[in-house]
Amino acid sequence: MADKILAKDKLADFLGKLQADYEVYAPQEVEGKAQWAPLEDAGKALWEFSNTSMSPKDFFFPQTEVLMRFKNVQDHESGMVMEAEPPLDKKRLLLNIRPCDAKAFQVLDLIFVQDEMTNDLYWKDKRDMTTLVGLACSDPCPSCFCTSMNCGPASTTGLDALLFDLGDKLLVRSLTEKGEAVAEGLDDAAEGDTAAAAEQATTAEGKISSSVGMDNVNSRSVMELYEAGMWDRVFENCLNCGTCTYVCPTCHCFDIQDETQGTEGRRVRNWDNCMSWLFTMHGTGHNPRGTKKDRVRQRFMHKFKYIPVKRGGEIGCVGCGRCVVLCPVNIDVRRVVNDMNA
């Protein structure tokens, strides 16, 4: 697939073409933050930003999602009536998604889409209907450590196309058939443009100064890591507020509840988090993760040991650094994992 070139002064025409086939979303400045929003004006798309405040996982795994609706009519021959929620009625396109966030969807595919018997249809429907057009990072922020997590500033994993910002133009690299459809009609890139994109990727990777070691985490047994003495101090500052889980692009704990009013109701799936004691509370009153230490250890063991063991070595973290920036008590995931690896 040949690289293409899109001049920035043609972005409005390019967006108009996309809007004929897709609902287009992109990071924009909203209330002083880079946030995802419907893109109606090409001029509002952000091209220079570190990352969005929240990851785009909400597009596939909404904070609150209706799974079905039901009506309980006892005196009717049909009795309990259940109605499935309709799938998306139009394709979607996420423009300028960062490579780390796209990589996170590939990780979550391993959780939600495992085989035909257990696929999560709500996740898969949205994934099938969505095209991901990434924007390579040229200036990673100090909290990024994506290169330690099987990712990088110009990683293509999970993307349909990747853009490189070359100033007054964009290099468009198609990676899938969905990406080719987006780039259709654009002019071929010159050799100099492709070389500039490669140089930008190398330079950006060199700017990432944070690193996390995983060699010993991988080689040690689950029980050896579980019983490590470091957990006796890591949990002390944690508030169990759950901020790290909500901003994380790969966290996916949820709870399912039936909400009823009269004879009608709906079944909803809501984000939950492993930092909450209630998340693992059994009906008997027993809680297998009843202490703060249990819950903090679970979060890190799940991402850096349990998921790699069960998912072919894939790590449940992409190194986006959001939890590093937003933790109210400055718990740094890089320091914790390096302690696990010591």
Work out the burial of residue 189: count CB atoms within 10 Å of its CB; fewer than 13 is exposed, 13-18 middle, 19 or more buried: buried
**Which pLDDT belongs to residue 73?**
78
Q: What's the helix, strand, coil split of the chain in %, to 5? A: 35, 20, 40
Phi, psi of 324, deg, nearest 5: -65, -45
- pLDDT recorded at residue 72: 81
289-319 pLDDT tens trace: 999 999 999 999 999 999 999 999 999 999 9
Nearest to 226 by CA among 278, 331, 234: 234
Computed over its alpha carbons, how large is the radius of gyration of the chain?
22
Ranges of the chain with pLDDT below 50: none
Sign of CA dihedral 287, 291, 297, 303: positive
Instruction: List the alpha helices (DSSP H) in 27-149.
Output: 99-112, 121-128
Quote the Cα angle for 73-76-78, to 5°: 90
Q: Quick one: tokens of 259? A: 């909400």
CB contact at 8 A, 182 and 131: yes
pLDDT digits (tens, 9 = 90+) for 46-95: 999 989 999 999 999 999 999 999 988 777 776 778 888 998 999 999 99
pLDDT of residue 332: 97
Residues 6+ apart with CB under 8 A from 125: 87, 88
